[in-house]
A = this chain, B = another copy of it.
Amino acid sequence: MVSKPQTPASPSPEPRSPEPRSSDVIEVSLGDRSYPIEVGTGGLGSIGDRIGERLGDVSHALVIVDEAVVECWGEAVEASLGRAGVRHDRIVIPSGESSKSIQQLANVWRAMLEAGADRRSVVIAVGGGVAGDLAGFGAATFARGIRLVQVPTTLLSMVDSSVGGKTGINLPDAKNMVGAFWQPSWVAIDTETLSSLPDREFLSGLAEVIKYGVIDDARFFAWLEENAGKLVDREPDPLREAIRRSCESKARVVGEDERETSGRRAILNYGHTFAHALEATAGYGTLLHGEAVAIGMQMAARLAIDLRLCEDELLVRQTALLRAVGLPIVYPNAVSDEMLPVMCRDKKVEHGKLRFILPTEIGSVRLVGDVDESDVRRAIEQTREA
């Protein structure tokens, strides 16, 4: 699985690769585990030059890359490392959720060993959530933890999984059941990598972007309402803005509750208890994660209205925004009899009680425990045909 070790090119006599044309930096504040998220356009080709500034001494990098982006982005990262004189090896992982398996984790560990990785090595994860979660868990556990750089190349992983330190794999029928909290040392986002992303996956990522508006930032939600069309067209400036503001929300929440102990971090799960049940019962892969989140947010908003936690207007605006970007707002195949048992098994359930993150107004949510099963059922059924 390891490609041939590449001897470092002697530092290039050509001028240094261009700095990203523009970029913003968001700091995730976690004491000695703090790190910067850089949101830029065109920065991928200078990662090698900048990794030293960000991480200090880097003698060896393991580029763990999703097979789908080896040619378009993995090789650019490697070329950049080569120009900067950083020795590097490549570990390719197959695309798709099935790579978050014990078998692939074992392959990654063995490939790291084969590449001669040691405590000073750095893992650079290039790809979407699958690559980031698997490579991140490899970094968290090899030699009891080595440094990690996340280079997300999907919108979903840019605004969600690459930030916050959740890494891991699935067990059979148990998504993300084993893993580690392992913060990256640097998250390097280059919006140009989104050019290779299929439309449906791009839109799926927008669901998580909209989520941040609902749970944390009413002004961002209003901005999204105004800029929905530009985002769908992937205009660089609005796109960078949307990613930056999403990452700011996530960084703030993670900074307040790194290991999901105070309950604060749970607000990121808005729509997700429904979404996980939708994904599981629809058969993994039928719905993309973001599509399931969009539908799940609709269910959660309906549940909140039923429980008189918020006004109808929230659902009206959420529906309109999801519709404006082309995300699903109903799911005719949702079956509450199938979804409820899955929701009860969800690892976010404690002591068997159904708990939900529900909105009180745009920009604000709360954790609601002890929800009646009949209310959950009604919210699911209303979202089958709304």
Which residues of A approach B to under 8 Å, CB–CB?
A: 59, 102, 106, 109-110, 113, 118-120, 140-145, 166, 168, 171-172, 174, 176-181, 259, 347, 350-351
Contact = CB atoms under 8 A, between A and B. Distances in A.
A197 to B, nearest CB: 28
Contacts of A181: 144-145
A140 B180 contact: yes
Contacts of A172: 110
A181 B181 CA distance: 12
A101 to B, nearest CB: 10
Contacts of A180: 140-141, 144-145, 180
A142 B347 contact: no
Given A102-B102, A109-B178, 13 more contacts: A59-B351, A109-B177, A110-B172, A113-B174, A118-B347, A120-B351, A141-B178, A141-B180, A142-B178, A144-B166, A144-B176, A144-B181, A145-B180
A190 to B, nearest CB: 28
How many copies the complex holds: the figure is 2
B109 A143 contact: no
A179 B350 contact: no
17 contacts: A59-B351, A102-B102, A109-B171, A109-B178, A110-B171, A110-B172, A118-B347, A120-B350, A140-B180, A141-B141, A141-B178, A141-B179, A141-B180, A142-B178, A144-B176, A144-B259, A145-B259
Nearest to A173: B113
A227 B118 CA distance: 42
Contacts of A171: 109-110, 113
Contacts of A145: 180-181, 259
Nearest to A142: B178
Contacts of A351: 59, 120
Contact of A144 (B102, B109, B113, B179): B179
Nearest to A345: B116
A180 B167 CA distance: 13
A226 B270 CA distance: 65
Contact of A102 (B109, B166, B168, B174): B109
Contacts of A118: 347, 350
A332 to B, nearest CB: 32
A229 to B, nearest CB: 39
Nearest to A177: B113
Given A120-B350, A143-B177, A102 B113 contact: no
Contacts of A120: 350-351
Nearest to A141: B178
A168 B102 CA distance: 15
Contacts of A109: 102, 171, 177-178
Nearest to A116: B345
Contacts of A142: 177-178
A383 B351 CA distance: 59
Question: Which interface residue of A59, A120, A172, A180 has the most chain B CB atoms within 10 A?
Answer: A180
A181 B143 CA distance: 10
A106 B169 CA distance: 12
A60 to B, nearest CB: 10
